[in-house]
Amino acid sequence: MHGAIQGGWVWNYSQPLQGAPRGVKGLLETAGFRVFNPTLPCHSPSHRARDVGCTVLGRVITAQVYVDSYLQVMRANGLSNVTLVAHSLAGVWAQLVVQQEPDAIERIIFLDAVILKSGESFALNHIGWPAQGLSTLWLGEGTFRQGGLSYDFWRDLFVQTRNDNQTFLNDTYARLVPEPRGPCLEHLNMDRFFAMPKLKVYIIEDQDISISVFGTGSQWATFAGRLWPAADGADGGLLRLLHADLADHQGMLTQPVNVARAIAAATAIGRGPVAGAMGGAEFAGEALNPEDASAAQVASATGKGQTLDDSQSQVMP
């Protein structure tokens, strides 16, 4: 599940010099996984020039339109025991998908993804303000083409670990599209999500500064903290934390091998090595091992740490 201003292409973006000629998707498929990377409505590169609201078959884009798109892929392909992998803004859509199709979802993997509490929106939430509120304004129709996301902003805050590769920067920047504002402004009910005993794995991209520039510490880690069981005893399911080494916010583009390793490790949590899928797989010449701490370091998850405490974030006005 891709994040804002981009499409499913981020998961199979070719990086042959990094050992990922078919991107993260190719690495995972080589390891035995079946991978789907759909593009949400209004998010293909052909929409880059769009400066008015996007509709789908006459429907105004809403969060439910996104959810329906993912459910359609799952049902059309007869998918069950699904692992959702949600990056950035897609964390919100993953929460909604699992609420509406819980029996088909086995676990959710969040890759530096937004986790909303019930009643919040992406634009207005306790943790991501003001970065996510401002990005909703800057990256939407009408302002995107007027420099809402400048080339320098993309280079310095989203893909800074590859900011020395001009060809890569130009190519990825040219694929970005305006983000429909409507779904980002919706205040959503997430009550059922937090009550579901599903395994949730949160992967921290350890060089991600995309929203920390507006605050202190790792706001992404604070989003992860929202997945801990609630103080009132509600069972929101187990949380495990992993790290994608050297990855900035667009780690699937800049560090595909490390992100693929972390995702593979996340699929193994709670059930050991995935049946035969890991043994012979090689990523950039190294055997893929979900237990390898250098590929994905498992943080101890026995209590609510200070860096994961929602109350430590700056308060939205």
114 or 313: which leads in pLDDT: 114
CA atoms within a 13 Å half-sphere pointing along the CA-CB vector of 18 = 22
User: pLDDT higher for 83 or 42?
Assistant: 83
Alpha-carbon gap, residue 44 to 102, rounded angstroms = 28
pLDDT of residue 28: 97
Burial label for 276, CB within 10 Å (0-12, 13-18, 19+), is: exposed
Tens digit of each residue's pLDDT (9 = 90 or more) over 225-264: 888 765 444 445 567 889 898 999 999 999 999 999 999 9
Sign of CA dihedral 268, 274, 278, 283: negative
- Average pLDDT of the chain is 78
Res. 68: pLDDT tops 60: yes
Question: Tens digits of per-residue pLDDT, 178-234?
Answer: 888 889 889 999 999 988 888 999 999 999 988 765 544 568 888 898 887 654 444
For 268-301, how does the pLDDT look when each residue is reduced to its tens digit (9 = 90+)? 998 755 433 433 333 333 333 333 333 333 332 2
CATH number of 8-312: 3.40.50.1820
Q: What is the CA radius of gyration of the chain?
A: 18
Look at residues 13, 8, 236 and name the one whose alpha carbon lies nearest to residue 108. 236
The residue among 54 and 63 whose pLDDT is bigger is 63
What is the C-alpha separation between 51 and 146, in angstroms, rounded? 10
Q: What is the pLDDT of residues 103-162, one digit of tens each?
A: 999 999 999 999 999 999 988 887 766 656 566 655 656 555 545 678 888 999 899 999
Residue of 284, 303, 305, 304 whose CA lies nearest to 294: 284
How would you label 229-253 residue by residue, b for 16+ Cβ within 10 Å and e otherwise? Answer: eeeeeeebbbbbbbbbbebbbbbbb
Work out whether strand 239-244 and strand 82-87 pair parallel, antiparallel, or are unpaired: unpaired
Q: What is the pLDDT of residues 18-31, one digit of tens each?
A: 999 999 999 999 99
pLDDT at 252: 97
CA 265 to chain centre: 16
What's the token pair of residue 257?
A: 């091998």
What's the pLDDT at 125? 81
- What is the sign of the dihedral through the CA atoms of 283, 284, 285 and 286? negative
More confident residue, 128 or 1: 1
The pLDDT assigned to 231 comes to: 41
Reported pTM: 0.82
Residue 135 confidence (pLDDT): 64
- What is the pLDDT, as a whole number, of residue 195? 87
